[in-house]
Amino acid sequence: MTADVGQGRLAQVISPLLTEHPGKSGVIPLVDAREAFAARVLLARQAEVRLDVQYYIWRHDITGTLLFEELHAAAERGVKVRLLLDDHNTAGLDVTLIGLHQHPNIEVRLFNPLRVRRPRFLNYLFDFRRVNRRMHNKAFIVDEQVVISGGRNIGDEYFGATSDVLFADLDALLIGSVVAHVVNDFERYWQSESAVPLERLFTLTKPQDLSTLQAIAKRYEQDPRAQDYVQAIESLPFIQQLQQQQIDIYWAETQLVSDSPAKALGRAQPQQLVTHQLQQAIGEPQSHVTLVSPYFVPTKAGVDELVAMAKRGVQIIVLTNSLAATDVAVVHAGYAKWRKRLLQHGIQLFELQRLSAKARRQQRRERRQRLKGKERFGSSASSLHAKTFMVDLARVFIGSLNFDPRSAAINTELGFVMHSRELAARLETAIITTLPQYAYQLRLIKNRVIWVERLGSSRRTLYYSEPDASIWRRLAVRILERLPIERLL
């Protein structure tokens, strides 16, 4: 830790808490989408020395523009800003990124960049083996004192600022001993061979003037579409609670698990991979596993392992997206083929429903009335994006890792293992409370998969095929199930 960051406002607020909990890290789950955005804005405004920011996706929309402007505003105050983005999703951002990069206090690098800027698809035709590997990590590091990390990328759909797709997601705000490990992890990615400075890529691109970025952000703040959202951010109790240290913090032994950046080059050793580190940190489940993953592709080896656990008496609950809710139907095919076998061995499967516009309006009304269980996974979620699991009601993982071959073998990932019964109990309760209201439970009736929807305390509706999915979408999944594509999912 550099001396100047250790003397700042955040350090002065956090240091007494760390003295009370030596060797542990403080964890604040960010369940509510608006609070997750507000936390980033607030912390960016508190930064005095350094902002290190690492993401897989950064949308050029309302929240993406507002957060770009927060980085710019911090740089104007003298804060050193380093922004590391995976290049797969930066289409349309080149002029903005080079504009930010030209600020004397901002440096931008792209991870595993596409060599052909336009048309981008040519990279996948001629360089697929390399560009198929992506940096899926998410980290927002402020003055080497606070980290926000988890499942959320930067974009309206992740922060509840859009009326289209809204992702049920989960981040954590972390302080304490684990932060230094995240700082070091960011540094090794920043200095890696795959992180390329913009001046080596954009030799002919005219930068966007940062006054233009500032004006666009100001216009978004005044836009009627965003006005209610921006006002809600300003008035959330979370802001005051964080400022006044009046928010629940879970203190726990916390371990960072992170792939080596060499994984993006196909050079990582087994011990440098998240999968190996997770196994070491979590250990062998003894009684309970609750797994939440939007893209659940267990593969034969994974199914064999889950079945073996179930035979040992481990209770296993899996929550993933339904076919109607998922945004990647091809991935659903890698899960659907295993449902029957998992159910045959007593593994409980739940699939998040896709909420209709009418249902989302009803949910928002109920949310305002603060009915029990209606705000467990954030704002009006219509698609699951959280990546978390609980083991033996004692250990919790929160991070970017999906339960699929891509996360295990292709993309780089980052996450945290927290040893906390209190945190595990909170998240387990939130999930179990959510399941009956927003998820189908899958059952086997006469060896056929059935979807059960609960309606109130006693009513049940049974579906004998994928609910709310068109016949063409269902047919496509049935075809894809038979193709040897699991390793790409």
Which residues are catalytic, by number?
Answer: 136, 138, 143, 385, 387, 392
Nearest CA-CA partner of 168 in 388, 420, 410, 466: 388
Q: Are 223 and 112 in contact (CB under 8 A)?
A: no
C-alpha separations of 99 from 68, 102, 331 in Å: 11, 5, 36
Residue for token pair 């981040």 = 171
Cα–Cα distance between 336 and 349 in angstroms, integer? 11
How many other CB atoms are found less than 10 A from the CB of residue 119? Answer: 9
Q: Which amino acid is at 209?
A: D
- What are 283's strand-pairing partners? none
> Which two three-digit tokens encode residue 12?
């002065």
* Residues making up the chain, counted from first to last: 489
Q: How far is CA 98 from the centre of its chain?
A: 26
Cα–Cα distance between 259 and 276 in angstroms, integer? 9
Long-range contacts of 481-487 (CB under 8 A, 24+ apart): 481/333, 481/334, 481/336, 481/337, 483/333, 485/330, 485/333, 485/334, 486/297, 486/299, 486/334, 486/405, 487/405, 487/409
Q: Are 41 and 221 in contact (CB under 8 A)?
A: no
Cα–Cα distance between 186 and 317 in angstroms, integer? 33
Cα–Cα distance between 444 and 454 in angstroms, integer? 16
